[in-house]
Chain A
Amino acid sequence: MTARRPRIAVLVFPGSNDDHDAAWALSALGAEPELVWHAEPQLPRVEAVVLPGGFSYGDYLRAGAIARFAPAMAAVASFAEAGGPVLGICNGFQILCEAGLLPGVLRPNASLSFVCRDVPVIVERTDTPFTTRCQPGQTLVIPVKHGDGCYQAPPGLSDDQVVLRYGPQANPNGSEDDIAGVVNAAGNVLGLMPHPEHAVDTLLGSADGGLILASLVDAASESSYAHA
């Protein structure tokens, strides 16, 4: 039995620091991760893409504002345009917003303090490639660790695009409507501030993040889509 392990690109920007954790978690969940340096003009043949957490370019100007112009981001945009699943975690979420692949923007936390703690996150949609393993309304416990996580939605953001919300009284950063994760209108690009890759083993407090990453691995396995 040699079930094919789907290949998932994990982008590496100068200042990424969760790239190896993301790759480790994806590997543990059955995927074959491949680290891709930001200066690469093309993606290798993969079935999904993950933009990991970190502080690309030191968060200069605005978090994600400079990384979005990396050569690899043009390839990620084409991949997303063609329907390939793309997951942005924390800094990855910020980059996707700055790149216009996701609506809105992430601003400094309302408290102006860096937050680092486990938070309850409610699953609002289970019909995305990132949440199929979750139950509707399920509360996941996943850590956040960020200084710029206050999500500002653009005018008229559809409620359908909100996939994850912080639990009651648990909004760690002042995000509008407690939004923790949003998907694009097509449904194949998700950004979230919590770090699922840091919650894939109960030994580390929670394995709930594994539900999100395993959903992505499932989607990648089933996907006939592969970027050449």
Chain B
Amino acid sequence: MRATVLVRPKGGILDPQGEAVERSLRQLGFPVGDARVGRVIDLEVAAPSAEEARAQVEQMCERLLANPLIESYEIELEEGNA
């Protein structure tokens, strides 16, 4: 099963990368605001069911992939034929 984990800086957390990206985009003429930079982690998960895969990936997020103090995460699962 294919899992995609989106890790984002939590709201209210200063995100200097997001600010730098926003400034650059504005310099390029794009009228953007509130840019935030996160991270995407794609994984192949061996699990018998989607529920189990999700439970596993949640564990991964809590223990390693995200720091709950500053980051939130979102998990997307895709049934693969791999």
Binding site for B on A (CB under 8 A): 61-62, 65-66, 69, 98, 104-105, 107-112, 150, 152, 154, 174
Contacts of A109 in B (CB 8 A): 16
Contacts of B16 in A (CB 8 A): 108-112, 150, 174
**B70–A107 CB distance below 8 A:** yes
Contacts A65-B64, A112-B20; is A154 near B69 (CB within 8 Å)? yes
What are 6 inter-chain pairs, A to B, with CB distance below 8 A?
Answer: A62-B67, A98-B67, A107-B14, A108-B17, A111-B16, A112-B17
**B64–A61 CB distance below 8 A:** yes
**A174–B14 CB distance below 8 A:** yes
Q: Interface residues of A: mostly helix, strand, loop or mixed?
A: loop
Contacts of B17 in A (CB 8 A): 108, 112
Contacts of A104 in B (CB 8 A): 69
- Total number of B residues with any Cβ neighbor in A under 8 Å: 10
**B65–A152 CB distance below 8 A:** no
| Complex Cα gap A110–B16 (Å) | 6
* Minimum Cβ distance to chain B for residue A203 (Å): 36
CB closest residue in chain A, given B14: A110
Contacts A107-B70, A112-B20; is A152 near B64 (CB within 8 Å)? no
| B82 contacts partner chain A, Cβ-Cβ < 8 Å | no
Contacts of A111 in B (CB 8 A): 16
